[in-house]
Amino acid sequence: MKWNLPNTLTILRLAAAPLLPVMFLYFTRPYADWFALVLFLVAAATDYIDGYIARAWKQESAFGAAMDPIADKAMVLIALLVINGFSGLTPWILLPSAIIIYREVFVSGLREVLGDKARALKVTNMAKWKTMLQMVAIATLFSTGVFEHYLGMQTFGMDEAMVRDILGGVEEDFLGLKWKLQGMIWTQYAGIALLWIASLLTLITGWDYFQKSMPFLRESDEGGENAG
């Protein structure tokens, strides 16, 4: 492996993935949400940057080609586990998460079976859109946690009637509770909608990958029969 900038960014992204749940172990919320959101956004940005630099500076390598999708999958899958953990396994988040995890395991298994032949199956534009949508959805859902906990912190100690009057416009909203509530609601709806769209693209790209791999799988079967 060559220690160039694209490969270094890929390694840093691989190292960042397991740090997401660590944020929730060592920090209280909403600070854990903030740290996880920033960490995820920085890691997602390096996914674009390392590929761009590798192509622009002609530093593409076998290591980068192999590790870059692994780093992407690690970030996405671990982030989904974290989000499902703090969202209380909400079915609207759990089901698309399960679809995404299932597809990634399925495709990774196919790649292992295909071996070197998997290099012939190029990444499609739809697969790139799928990854981008997954990352945007996850970042949006992390931001929901930020709004939720700032709202909770600033309404702590208030009785229900006071909160209702502030949100209803009867009392002055000095703490900005309305926009925090709206932020929590809209980021949750947007994040869930994007996650469902991403899961649909995940199924489509998974099926496409399976169809494209079938000729190689048939060759393997024929080779085994001839050897027998």
Q: Per-domain residue ranges for the chain?
A: 5-215
Report the alpha-carbon distance of residue 162 to residue 105 in Å, rounded: 49
Q: Given this model, what pLDDT does residue 221 score?
A: 56
**What is the residue-wise DSSP string for 2-19?**
---HHHHHHHHHHHHTTH
Q: Identify whether the C-beta of residue 78 lies closer than 8 Å to the C-beta of residue 17.
A: yes
Tens-digit pLDDT string for the chain (228 aa): 677 888 888 888 888 889 989 888 888 888 888 988 998 899 888 888 887 887 887 877 777 777 888 888 899 999 999 999 888 888 999 999 999 999 999 988 888 887 777 676 777 788 888 888 999 999 999 999 889 888 888 888 787 888 888 888 888 888 788 988 899 999 999 999 999 999 999 999 999 888 888 887 776 555 555 444
Whole-model pTM: value is: 0.84
Out of 1.10.260, 1.20.5, 1.20.120, 3.30.70, the CATH code matching 5-215 is 1.20.120
For residue 123, how many other CB atoms are within 10 A of its CB?
13
Nearest CA among 38, 40, 89, 46 for reference residue 67:
46
Q: Given this model, what pLDDT does residue 227 score?
A: 45
Q: Given this model, what pLDDT does residue 228 score?
A: 43
Report the alpha-carbon distance of residue 166 to residue 49 in Å, rounded: 44
Integer Rg of the chain from CA: 22
Q: Given this model, what pLDDT does residue 67 score?
A: 84
